[in-house]
Amino acid sequence: MVKNRPIIGITPWFDYNENKMYINNVYCEAIILSGGLPVLLPIVEDDGLLSEMIEEFDGFLLSGGPDLDAAHWGEWNYKYNGEISPYRDKMELFIAKKAVAKDKPIFGICRGIQVLNVAIGGTLYQDIYSQNTDKELIKHSQTAPKWYPTHKVKLEEGSIVKRAHGAEIIAVNSFHHQAIREPAPEFIVTGRSEDGIIEAIEHRNCKFAVGVQWHPEHMWNKDSSFLNLFKSFVKSCL
């Protein structure tokens, strides 16, 4: 912790062709405005170094990104699975498992909610449209501006996400085709979209292990209520 600001490690995107890691600055801005100090984590494969990072940081933010390798929940990768990032899969699954085990606050966004779930024993739809043929789904990968909400989510009473937003129904943005299929036993579902797709999960026992399928980092500048979940996260890291 630095002068009462908890240090938050943010997992980066990684460009394999350019050997570069990067992050959208809106994640960092949200953490700063919420009272934290954001630090972009290095891409690390060594378990020893990853364990050291778990000890040194006050909390972790799992950012959005590409699809997970289906091998991590015991499936083949079907034709509709997308881009995979092996470095991120290894690093983020390790961080998620250790953070939950040590009750270190962790916040997963989009890909991040999926990482949290798989790390603790849950499964995913590799593609919600191909694997939900018994019903018609709403559009979950919008072509509207990133800050614009395109569907609604119902939040469960007593959940962290509902307390943060102060509302049972919220309108969110959406940029995904994978989603949680079977929640890990340690997580409860605290938000669903109109078509039943899981949009939020929370750990049963950890003080803050929360995942959301939408992208609040792109929405808080237009709607300040979307900063509240970042504030709850950073506060839990104190």
Q: Per-residue DSSP letters for 168-232?
A: SEEEE--B-S-EEEE--TTEEEEEEETT--EEEEEESSSSSEEEESS-GGGTTTT-GGGGHHHHH
Reduced to 3 states (helix: H, G, I; strand: E, B; else coil), residue 235 is helix
For 7-236, the fitting CATH number among 2.40.37.10, 3.40.50.880, 3.40.50.150, 3.40.50.9100 is 3.40.50.880
- CA 20 – CA 116 distance, rounded (Å): 24
- Alpha helices by DSSP H, listed for 67-187, are 86-101, 111-119, 160-165
The pLDDT value recorded for residue 3 is 78
The pLDDT value recorded for residue 54 is 96
Kindly name the residue from 140, 165, 176, 215 that is annotated as catalytic.
Answer: 215
Distant-in-sequence, close-in-space partners of 143: CB < 8 Å, separation ≥ 6: none
| 110 catalytic residue (yes or no) | yes
86-101 and 111-119 helices cross at what angle (nearest 10)?
A: 60
Kindly name the residue from 151, 217, 218, 237 that is annotated as catalytic.
Answer: 217
The values of phi and psi at residue 96, to 5°, are -60, -45
Kindly name the residue from 110, 186, 203, 206 that is annotated as catalytic.
Answer: 110
Mind listing the pLDDT tens digit of every residue in the chain (238 residues)?
777 899 999 999 999 999 999 999 999 999 999 999 999 999 999 999 999 999 999 999 999 999 999 999 999 999 999 999 999 999 999 999 999 999 999 999 999 999 999 999 999 999 999 999 898 999 999 999 999 999 999 999 999 999 999 999 999 999 999 999 999 999 999 999 999 999 999 999 999 999 999 999 999 999 999 999 999 999 999 9
The pLDDT value recorded for residue 1 is 79
Candidates 193, 14, 15, 207; CA nearest to 107 is: 207
| Model confidence, pTM | 0.97
**Pairing state of beta strands 151-155 and 59-62?**
unpaired
| 217 catalytic residue (yes or no) | yes
